[in-house]
Homo-oligomer: A and B are copies of this chain.
Amino acid sequence: MTLQRSLLEKNDRLAEQNRGFFRAKKLLVLNMVSSPGSGKTTFIRETAAKLAGRLRVGVIVGDLATDNDAARLRTAGIPVVQITTGTVCHLDSEMVSKAAAQLDLEKLDVLVIENVGNLVCPADYDLGEDLRVVLLSVTEGEDKPLKYPPMFHSAHVAVVTKSDMAAAAGFDRKLALANLQRVSHHARIFELSSKTGEGMKAWLDYLVEQRAAAKAGQK
């Protein structure tokens, strides 16, 4: 559809503006996407807490309704702006640009954009991020990468979450990793539990390294 295409083109242009703006601010920007309930907010909270003293993390949170996620992050002392989208199933570059203006970006090293919980719509919308991070929780089933290929294919990073529940969920790790490698074939893969902390170190070290590259203008 022509209308749809022109909306996307407008979004893509503004995404490049965001990208340039964030680059000038030496921020590492993550666009975090997943199904509803994959554990994005808890993962972001634990990431920010464990990076304390090394990197300062701010968050833009998108949801159709409620500011529950922002409240959870704010309680943990993390600078956060909530976007409520109404009936829109994804964030777009303009929403992100306006929300970013409400944060004191000079005091941040990493900006995490927690997208609306949805494995379809956000795939088409570049927000100006450096890294698109897709979460797959062990309770969702191993075939999600095959069923939602645009989202998983476009990800730079895939994070298998809730690894502490793998046994209870009967999670077939080998199959899930094979499916991820097949669809998200450019992606760096992490496996972890925000609850127990298992596997978090590799993810945190990766962010420190990526942020150093961003700061040096090498990204």
Contacts and interface: CB of A to CB of B under 8 A. Distances in A.
Interface string A135-162: 0010111011011111000000000001
A35 B140 CA distance: 9
A117 interface: yes
A37 interface: yes
Contacts of A121: 89, 120-121
Task: Indicate how many identical chains form the complex.
Answer: 2
* Chain A binding surface, main DSSP class: loop
A63 interface: yes
Interface residues of A, number: 35
A32 interface: no
Interface in A57-84: 63-66, 68
B37 A120 contact: no
A121 to B, nearest CB: 6
A87 interface: yes
Most buried by B among A36, A63, A66, A162: A36
A52 interface: no
Interface string A159-186: 0001001001100000000000000000
Given A36-B141, A37-B141, 4 more contacts: A35-B35, A65-B147, A65-B149, A89-B120
